[in-house]
Chain A
């Protein structure tokens, strides 16, 4: 059941982005920025975790989930560290994804050359 939920919720989040791209001429970069901000807002008010409970990776793999991780992280850090957590919480929680993205992109770009167009 979890797999079906992951499929349709994840698919729906991507389909909405596709509609935005086709209808509004928003560039992919703007869609990604929009999704991260929406994810942080939904995470901030605590709604998105309910979607994560229902859809699992269908909610965490799209970039909205990245925004949610940032928001959850900052709330947890404020609980444990107070005001300092406002600054440290978000990036700490997202550190795995960010470091992986930077390092693997670096590694892959060193190894592979772009295909001639």
Chain B
């Protein structure tokens, strides 16, 4: 029975695969993710209090700056080194979004600047944009109908 064989194999894998040290992973994700947000807060306070940006511009400026830092640290091969320990702590912040674009862009440069680097840079960011922008359109439709029907 191939099904049984499969089950035995999966059981075997479960028993022999090293247990991922989940508590340690979660703690590191918490610490490093939190730290990246604190850096974002520092940059935001700088833009708001020293450069005098309003809140909306400040938030955009923080995103742009964090994206730049994420891309630069990826280029210098530092971000992957932090990510090895931090897991989601480096994936979830917007620096991780920058990393997810920069990393395949570098990787596929050897396949050409158009169909290599520029096409492959969206391998993770593409889905994020597809679902993000589509969600925003859905939110917009619901909000528009809500305003028309209820007059909010």
A interface, CB within 8 angstroms of B = 2-3, 6-15, 17-23, 28-29, 31-33, 35-37, 40-41, 43-44, 55-58, 60-67, 69-71, 73-75, 77-78, 82-83, 85-87, 89-91, 94, 96-98, 100-102, 104-115
Q: Do residues B105 and A17 form an inter-chain contact, with CB atoms below 8 A?
A: no
Q: Is B11 an interface residue (CB 8 A)?
A: no
Q: Which residues of B contact A62 (CB under 8 A)?
A: 33, 37, 92-94
Please report whether the interface of chain B is mostly helix, strand, loop or mixed according to DSSP. Answer: helix
Query: What is the total of A-B residue contacts with beta carbons within 8 Å?
Result: 275
Q: Which residues of B contact A43 (CB under 8 A)?
A: 139
Give min CB distance, B76 to chain A, whole Å: 7
In this complex, the interface size class of chain B, counting residues with CB under 8 Å from chain A, is: 35 or more
Q: Which residues of B contact A82 (CB under 8 A)?
A: 144
Q: Do residues A36 and B41 form an inter-chain contact, with CB atoms below 8 A?
A: no
Q: Which residues of B contact A75 (CB under 8 A)?
A: 139-140, 143
Q: Do residues B91 and A17 form an inter-chain contact, with CB atoms below 8 A?
A: yes
Q: Which of B101, B125, B133 contacts A90 (CB 8 A)?
A: B133
Q: Which of B32, B43, B59, B140 contacts A85 (CB 8 A)?
A: B140
Q: Which residues of B contact A83 (CB under 8 A)?
A: 144
Q: Do residues B97 and A32 form an inter-chain contact, with CB atoms below 8 A?
A: yes
Q: Do residues B128 and A14 form an inter-chain contact, with CB atoms below 8 A?
A: no
